[in-house]
Amino acid sequence: MQLTYLEAIRQGLWEEMERDPSVFLLGEDIGVYGGAFKVTAGLLDRFGPERVVDTPISESAIVGAAIGASYMGMRPVAEMQFADFITCGFDQIVNFAAKCRYRWGAPAPIVVRAPSGGGIHGGPFHSQNPEAWFVHTPGLKVAAPSTAYDAKGLIKSAIRDNDPVIFFEHKGLYRRIKDEVPAGDYTVPLGKAKVFREGSDLSVITYGAMVHAANDAADELSKEGVSMEIVDLRTLLPIDEETVLASVRKTSKAIVLHEATLTGGVGGEISARISEKAFEYLDGPVVRLAAPDTPVPYSLTLEEAFLPNSAKLLEKARWLLNY
């Protein structure tokens, strides 16, 4: 069936709650209101207030309660209303949940859902892509799906995983992206990238909303006889290095693309791995394309200038192809 990205996440949550009574949801306005973006609409009516818990406006309390519940055999899914607000629960995620297995062997099977990204004119406090903070934290897993199929399969895998998973959902994809999603149960493995589009002349390594920007650029380049390969990381921690390197060894040219700001971003890590482990295959420098190192602008015009897009990718791609 055809589902939007948003509906696929809701269906994944619903199915896991049906399958496993230890799964429950908690977050701000997720019950009666159905969530700020309506991802959890209808779940309160089906599962009741003990499993769809409206919380106070305190991300630290939400994450702390989720960790505690996980120690008691539950599998909580905590929603941050916007990914930006995850900073209020940051200490409990990176200094507690991420280190429990290492310190005393205790799993912390929590999922923290984080609606992220720009393009909705939310300004600097409602539009960030903070994934790099968590990719730098051993003990966490970090997912960032780009399609409805992957969103459903990855949320189910995240809920079943015994480690804490930060699950980034790009707000701009919620209702814009729709694809075929099987009606039956399936999962998408954490830690496994996919080749979103086969190509032979240039590799673009990306994730989230930028997968679709890359695909638009690939359509344009195909008119010029250029074949662009797109690798969708899907999971940012652990990174599927094997799939990335296989693509670069095939095409010999690589662009790493992400919406988050450039400095200290995931793109730097991927670029370094390509340079270290596939240098002899490269026919040009590894190129990064990301947002500039500023807060996300509120102004429509400035936000459009700030965000990476297919036009900016085409410019980088043509430069690298002619290198």
* Residue 186 covered by a domain: no
pLDDT of residue 134: 98
Using pLDDT thresholds of 50, 70 and 90, give the confidence band for residue 116. Answer: very high
pLDDT in tens, 45-74: 999 999 999 999 999 999 999 999 999 999
* Residue 188 covered by a domain: no
Query: Are 13 and 74 part of one and the same domain?
Result: yes
Query: Are 8 and 141 part of one and the same domain?
Result: yes
Check pLDDT > 90 for residue 234.
yes
- CATH no. for residue 148? 3.40.50.970
Query: Are 236 and 130 part of one and the same domain?
Result: no
Query: Are 128 and 209 part of one and the same domain?
Result: no
Q: What is the rounded distance in angstroms from the CA atom of residue 172 to the CA atom of residue 160?
A: 26
Query: Are 201 and 245 part of one and the same domain?
Result: yes
Please tell me which residue in 121, 126, 170, 258 is annotated as part of the active site.
126
Length of the chain: 323
Average confidence (pLDDT) over 269-273? 98
Count of domains forming the chain: 2
Query: Which of the listed residues 132, 156, 180 is the one where a domain comes to its end?
Result: 180
* Residue 75 covered by a domain: yes
Query: Are 51 and 171 part of one and the same domain?
Result: yes
Q: Is the pTM of this model over 0.85?
A: yes
Average confidence (pLDDT) over 224-234? 97
Average confidence (pLDDT) over 288-301? 96
Average confidence (pLDDT) over 136-147? 98
- Is there a catalytic annotation at residue 121? no
Query: Are 33 and 176 part of one and the same domain?
Result: yes
* Residue 187 covered by a domain: no
* Torsion sign (Cα): 172, 26, 20, 237: positive
* Residue 185 covered by a domain: no
Q: Phi and psi dihedrals of 137, rounded to 5?
A: -115, 100
Nearest to 146 by CA among 234, 266, 258: 234
Query: Are 139 and 226 part of one and the same domain?
Result: no
Domain span at residue 246 reads: 194-321
pLDDT of residue 238: 98
* Residue 271 covered by a domain: yes
Within 8 A by CB and 6+ apart from 223, the residues are none
Check pLDDT > 90 for residue 214.
yes
Average confidence (pLDDT) over 276-298? 97
Query: Are 201 and 253 part of one and the same domain?
Result: yes
* Torsion sign (Cα): 15, 21, 22, 28: positive
Helices (H), the chain: 5-19, 43-47, 59-71, 90-95, 100-104, 131-135, 148-160, 210-222, 241-251, 266-277, 300-306, 310-321
Average confidence (pLDDT) over 106-120? 96
Query: Are 204 and 292 part of one and the same domain?
Result: yes
pLDDT of residue 52: 98
Query: Are 244 and 172 part of one and the same domain?
Result: no
- CATH no. for residue 245? 3.40.50.920
Query: Which of the listed residues 124, 152, 180 is the one where a domain comes to its end?
Result: 180
pLDDT in tens, 10-30: 999 999 999 999 999 999 999
Average confidence (pLDDT) over 269-274? 98
Using pLDDT thresholds of 50, 70 and 90, give the confidence band for residue 282. Answer: very high
* Residue 168 covered by a domain: yes
Query: Are 149 and 273 part of one and the same domain?
Result: no
Using pLDDT thresholds of 50, 70 and 90, give the confidence band for residue 184. Answer: confident
* Residue 290 covered by a domain: yes
pLDDT of residue 183: 86
pLDDT of residue 239: 97
pLDDT of residue 103: 92
Query: Which of the listed residues 180, 211, 239 is the one where a domain comes to its end?
Result: 180
